[in-house]
Chains A and B, each alone.
Chain A
Amino acid sequence: TQLLEQSPQFLSIQEGENLTVYCNSSSVFSSLQWYRQEPGEGPVLLVTVVTGGEVKKLKRLTFQFGDARKDSSLHITAAQPGDTGLYLCAGAGGNDMRFGAGTRLTVKP
């Protein structure tokens, strides 16, 4: 079983602050995805990282895949209330996709 551990579990910050959330595993993944989920809805794909050391940017969001393809981070610059949500990482290691428990982010105006 490939376990994905996300930290922190909860994060509450003020608008304009920067933050980083983490996704760690003891397993190697062929790819890793980040999703954002709002209450009452399904997760929405943000990005896929495939290559060890890869960095991808999506506006104010920066995603990094660890060199060993076991971990990843998501950095948000100048967070806004619209960034509030549950951020999930998921790893592909076979036929199924496994998700972490998520980081619940609240950005206060």
Chain B
Amino acid sequence: DTGVSQDPRHKITKRGQNVTFRCDPISEHNRLYWYRQTLGQGPEFLTYFQNEAQLEKSRLLSDRFSAERPKGSFSTLEIQRTEQGDSAMYLCASSSGLAPGELFFGEGSRLTVL
């Protein structure tokens, strides 16, 4: 399967712990996006990479959130000192330079902060 894969699919953690999510995009895609989605809402943009460069960050991305894409391939999203309000589905998507608006999403990583 050459689609976007995310790991883990589910994560339950206690408030104050750190969590890290990984995303492996479609191999030939140079653009990678992270979104957060809560129940009843559409995906909220968090950050965007073109190759290894992080080109845009949402104001939603507080200093507890950090994302990397060190070699322009896979990406990680880390949340430090988690809060209950961080509970959400974290979605990763990738796209090619030929059709940058057409995003291919992974199945998401669902975070529950107790």
Query: Which residues from chain A sit less than 8 Å from chain B, CB to CB?
Result: 6, 30-31, 33, 35, 40-45, 48, 88, 90, 92, 94-102, 104
Contacts and interface: CB of A to CB of B under 8 A. Distances in A.
Contacts of A100: 42
B108 to A, nearest CB: 5
B102 interface: yes
Contact of A42 (B45, B56, B108): B108
Contact of B42 (A31, A42, A94, A99): A99
Question: Could you say which interface size class chain B belongs to?
Answer: 20 to 34
B5 to A, nearest CB: 11
Contact of B107 (A42, A98, A99): A42
Interface of B: 4, 33, 35, 40-45, 48, 50, 55-56, 58, 91, 93, 99-108, 110
B53 to A, nearest CB: 11
B42 A101 contact: yes
> Chain A interface secondary structure, helix, strand, loop or mixed?
strand
B42 A97 contact: no
A43 B102 CA distance: 11
Contacts of A99: 35, 42-45
